[in-house]
Structure 1
């Protein structure tokens, strides 16, 4: 058995035995019923080999992890003009906070907090209808993952629309500052549907390969983004990908990553691996409790932290 298969299997067994599993998000109705007993992990290496364990092929709502991919699309559409409407700094606040928008004139701190992702969705609406944007996003994700079976869970999207009052407030507040240009119901429709994308750990790790590979899809050889843009997306993932827990994640794991309240985390070891983990129970910052622990253990055993002086695969 491959050494990495052993490591991944051992981590999955450790997570299955863990007593403290965090609290499943309950403010989105369809997420509240997901069992906290689930755990999955998928590691796809630069050479294409895939190492999985646990519930790696069970689809879940990836939620805010989609913000990495919509950011990629928005940068492709408008380039660095995006940064006139959204910042690149850690927020230090909860993912759905409205506090900073007042003093910062409706400009969200970064594209990974809810307010920033809503602005990104608004950017994608330019010259398109909402349905066209959602369809383009779904095609993009299927292409990156090489899997046409990926779908948006419309029940989750409808549940978010029914209960997303804080996101509605964020969108309307930014529109008052002129930073949301389209009717808020259209912008939020895109945002709610993107967050309802359902993927497995294996599919999500597949989709993240271009960030591992300098902006190129290793399966097709085609450039998704430039190498420079891929590095900058990774920098934002490292500094902002876990909201007000981003510093703690960087300290413990040392990889660029993006979490979602569905319990998933996408992490990238540049040039080495694209990694997805899933465990629905969240810590107090809204990030997967066991997912974070599993990534910490993986990095400890492989030496993949970006802060290591030399990458030591050790497997």
Structure 2
């Protein structure tokens, strides 16, 4: 194993020397106020080592990264029945696209599009008495950090401007793939997207995907090994919307991005790595985050390929 602390520091200092392209997610007003030059990295290994650099302790909005955790809660309860409501195919379309839903009879192509996550949120309302609490409890438990919280300002900002998601939810409801009230489903979805984390917390949350579905201390079993394999496969093929193929090609790790500027990726049996930089490229993924992870797997030769 290479000297990971030295590697991430070298890549960090190389990246911050160059121009930072992209824009913050200004369509969510609370995210528009974030310092766009921030860059933080934290890598945690399954044997308990932690490596970090930059703004790794700064909190940011988890946004679409939470879709992986929403899916895990549903998959844990339903198993393969889940795939009757949502597919596992790369969409090739933007994260908020309505385009394929009518032809697909309201079944989203995959659970990491906004449409897919909205359907998963509906499923969680049926499965849990309080899915909002189940989500935050799970994140706090697997990270070992009870301080993680819902950012109510971000949630309110999304609810005030989330017209596209309102359209998606109503469209899916009209096609028969949402059981509960649209407002209830969207409130759960927006609240979960608002969760505030830092790179260390996020890397620790995702470590169970590198460890056959359980936290390294064995205190939390979230998924069985077969489910974990499938979740990692969906992250690899669908975690970056219409840039998923590019991420697999350049980085070669299962992962997920969010418009808060976060990216998390895992190398099964080895580590989880979280990178945060708020400026997004035209596909809605962190510009510097992608650059960092591409350089990291190139330098270390640590990928699934």
Contact 1:277 1:291 (8 Å CA) reproduced: yes
Instruction: Measure the CA separation in 1 of the matches of 2:18 and 2:227.
Output: 38
- Aligned ranges 1:141-290 → 2 under 5 Å: 141-290=139-288
SS of the residue aligned with 2:126?
A: coil
SS of the residue aligned with 2:166?
A: helix
Contact 2:56 2:200 (8 Å CA) reproduced: yes
Instruction: Measure the CA separation in 2 of the matches of 1:199 and 1:287.
Output: 17
Contact 2:142 2:220 (8 Å CA) reproduced: no
Aligned to 1:136: 134
Listed one character per residue, the Cα deviations across residues 279-314 of structure 1 (whole Å, up to 9, x for unaligned) are 00001110001001100111011111111xxxxxxx
Instruction: Measure the CA separation in 1 of the matches of 2:18 and 2:267.
Output: 25
Listed one character per residue, the Cα deviations across residues 193-221 of structure 1 (whole Å, up to 9, x for unaligned) are 00001000000000011000111110234
Contact 1:122 1:187 (8 Å CA) reproduced: yes
Aligned to 2:83: 83
- Pairs aligned (count): 304
- After TM superposition, which residue ranges in structure 1, 4 or more long, deviate above 6 angstroms? none
Instruction: Measure the CA separation in 1 of the matches of 2:17 and 2:144.
Output: 33
Contact 1:15 1:39 (8 Å CA) reproduced: no
SS of the residue aligned with 1:102?
A: coil
Contact 2:70 2:120 (8 Å CA) reproduced: yes
Instruction: Measure the CA separation in 2 of the matches of 1:14 and 1:64.
Output: 28
Instruction: Measure the CA separation in 1 of the matches of 2:3 and 2:216.
Output: 23
Structure 1 residue 15, shift from structure 2 partner: 2.4
Instruction: Measure the CA separation in 2 of the matches of 1:114 and 1:87.
Output: 13
The TM-score normalised by the length of structure 2 is 0.98
Aligned to 1:53: 53
Aligned to 1:117: 117
- Aligned ranges 1:1-150 → 2 under 5 Å: 3-126=3-126, 128=128, 132-150=130-148
Listed one character per residue, the Cα deviations across residues 94-131 of structure 1 (whole Å, up to 9, x for unaligned) are 000001001111110000000000000000001545xx
RMSD of aligned Cα (Å): 1.1
Instruction: Measure the CA separation in 2 of the matches of 1:284 and 1:6.
Output: 31
Structure 1: gaps (5+ residues) = 308-315
Instruction: Measure the CA separation in 1 of the matches of 2:141 and 2:11.
Output: 30
Structure 2: gaps (5+ residues) = none
Listed one character per residue, the Cα deviations across residues 64-104 of structure 1 (whole Å, up to 9, x for unaligned) are 00011010000112221110010000000000000100111
The TM-score normalised by the length of structure 1 is 0.94
